[in-house]
């Protein structure tokens, strides 16, 4: 099933390619007129027809090289009398039968025409009615009746052979496709070959791109994971260093406490004055000038507490108070003057 669909797809691509090539470079047109036991070949130019050759029916396949050079790859129209082409109408078909119209026609050729189905050349004309149903007309002629003309057209190397009654442009448009010539068959074969391998190459390229993209994504993921691990390792090293540095700073602070009894007293006083929801993160004491920074649930009450303790004076905020993330605490910066105490003097 898949192979059949692939083959049909390739045939469609090949036919489209050949049709495009024909539209870009229109082939020359010739006409074969049947008269008694002779055939007359004419070139249909822009002005009047040019007679090229007269052929006997018995020697229909004998085409001179000079003529074949001109006709090779062209379209040859076999012009027959009006009576040689019959037209019949089939029963009206429902719109959903459109894809199967040709099969319906093939099954009814023996019934509507006086020739055997194998001997019939036909074309199908489909018209859509206002109610959506299909009018189907079939034009046909007998292959055996124009056998010499068909042989001559094949010998000319035509890419396409049509049969019509010569009744002007309308008759030519409704012509019967008698055969696809050898040149056209070669073109179709070449187009199928190119399309087949082009599709295979495209599929292979797609598979390669998908594989490479998958590998690249996996490689990038592995690199990102390795980078995350390196970052985690560096963070651990920095944390250990910070912990060690903080411990050293704490030891230095203890030494300063031992060397500076006043600072220890100030710290003890602040611990007694400040509420439990307040913590000091930074303290600076120069002579009697104290600066503290920290966080508190109610920073506005700290200045009155310091002033009211009697141990500090001139307390004030030296930097704006800022609300921390979450909205529960404020960061404060307060400076004050330490009031000398008799206990300190002792």
With respect to residue 67, please indicate whether it lies within any of the assigned structural domains.
Answer: yes
- Per-residue pLDDT tens over the stretch 248-295: 555 655 555 544 447 778 888 888 888 888 988 898 888 788 899 999
With respect to residue 207, please indicate whether it lies within any of the assigned structural domains.
Answer: no
Determine the structural domain holding residue 308 and report its residue range. 260-345
Of 166, 194, 222, the one marking the end of a domain is: 194
Of 194, 217, 237, the one marking the end of a domain is: 194
With respect to residue 103, please indicate whether it lies within any of the assigned structural domains.
Answer: yes
Whichever domain contains 292, its CATH number is 3.30.1360.100
With respect to residue 320, please indicate whether it lies within any of the assigned structural domains.
Answer: yes
With respect to residue 206, please indicate whether it lies within any of the assigned structural domains.
Answer: no
Residue 165 and residue 312 in one domain: no
CA 34 centroid distance within chain? 55
pTM above 0.85, yes or no: no
Report yes or no: 315 and 339 within 8 Å, Cβ to Cβ.
no
- Per-residue pLDDT tens over the stretch 63-74: 888 888 888 888
Residue 183 and residue 282 in one domain: no
Per-residue pLDDT, 51: 83
| SS3 readout for the chain | CHHHHHHHHHHHHHHHHHHHHHHHCCCCEEEEEEECCEEEEEECCCCCCEEEEEEEHHHCCCCCHHHHHHHCCCEEEEECCHHHCEEEECCCECHHHHHHHHHHHHHHHHHHCCCCHHHEEEEEEEEECCCCCEEEEEEEEECHHHHHHHHHHHHCCCCEEEEECCCCHHHHHCCEEEEECHHHHHHHHHHHHHHHHHHHHHHHHHHHHHHHHHHHHHHHHHHHHHHHHHHHHHHHHHHHHHHHHHHHHHHHHHHHHHHCHHHHHHHHHHHHHCCCCEEEEEEEEECCEEEEEEEECCHHHHHHHHHHCCCEEEEEECCCCEECCCCCCEEEEEEEEECCCHHHHC
Handedness of CA 252, 257, 262, 266 (dihedral sign): positive
With respect to residue 55, please indicate whether it lies within any of the assigned structural domains.
Answer: yes
Per-residue pLDDT, 189: 67
With respect to residue 203, please indicate whether it lies within any of the assigned structural domains.
Answer: no
Question: Structural domain tally of the chain?
Answer: 2
Lowest-confidence segment of 10-14, 115-119, 214-218, 296-300 by average pLDDT: 10-14
- Per-residue pLDDT tens over the stretch 101-139: 989 999 999 899 999 988 999 989 999 999 999 999 999
With respect to residue 180, please indicate whether it lies within any of the assigned structural domains.
Answer: yes
Per-residue pLDDT, 1: 61
Residue 11 and residue 141 in one domain: yes
- The closest alpha carbon to 176, from 76, 290, 303, 323, belongs to 76
Residue 31 and residue 175 in one domain: yes
Residue 265 and residue 186 in one domain: no
d(CA 181, CA 187): 10
Per-residue pLDDT, 247: 62
Residue 266 and residue 172 in one domain: no
Residue 188 and residue 333 in one domain: no
Whichever domain contains 122, its CATH number is 3.30.420
């Amino acid at each position: 099933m898949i192979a059949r669909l692939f083959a049909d797809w390739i045939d469609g691509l090949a036919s489209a390619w050949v049709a495009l090539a024909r539209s870009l470079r229109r082939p020359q047109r010739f006409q074969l007129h049947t008269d008694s036991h002779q055939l007359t070949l004419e070139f249909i130019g822009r002005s009047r027809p040019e007679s090229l050759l007269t052929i006997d029916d018995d020697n229909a396949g004998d085409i001179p090289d000079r003529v074949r050079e001109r006709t090779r790859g062209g379209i040859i129209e076999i012009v027959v009398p009006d009576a040689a082409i019959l037209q019949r109408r089939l029963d009206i078909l429902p719109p959903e039968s459109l894809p199967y119209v040709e099969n319906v026609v093939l099954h009814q050729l023996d019934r509507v025409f006086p020739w055997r189905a194998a001997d019939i050349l036909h074309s199908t004309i489909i018209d859509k009615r206002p109610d959506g149903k299909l009018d189907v007309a079939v034009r046909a002629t007998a292959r055996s009746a124009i056998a010499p003309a068909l042989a001559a057209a094949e010998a000319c190397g035509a890419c396409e052979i049509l049969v019509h009654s010569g009744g002007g442009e309308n008759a030519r448009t409704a012509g019967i496709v008698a055969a696809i010539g050898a040149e056209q068959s070669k073109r179709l074969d070449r187009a199928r070959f190119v399309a087949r391998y082009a599709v295979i190459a495209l599929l292979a390229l797609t598979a390669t791109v998908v594989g490479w993209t998958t590998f690249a994504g996996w490689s990038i993921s592995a690199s990102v994971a390795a980078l995350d691990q390196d970052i985690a390792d560096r963070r651990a090293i920095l944390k250990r260093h910070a912990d060690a540095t903080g411990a050293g700073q704490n030891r230095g602070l203890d030494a300063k406490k031992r060397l500076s009894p006043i600072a220890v007293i100030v710290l003890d006083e602040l611990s007694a004055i400040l509420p439990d929801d307040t913590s000091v993160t930074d303290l600076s004491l120069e002579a009697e000038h104290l600066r503290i920074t920290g966080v508190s649930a109610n920073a506005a009450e700290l200045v009155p507490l310091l002033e009211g303790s009697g141990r500090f004076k001139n307390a004030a905020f030296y930097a704006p108070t800022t609300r921390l993330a979450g909205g529960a605490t404020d960061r404060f910066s307060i400076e004050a003057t330490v009031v000398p105490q008799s206990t300190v003097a002792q």
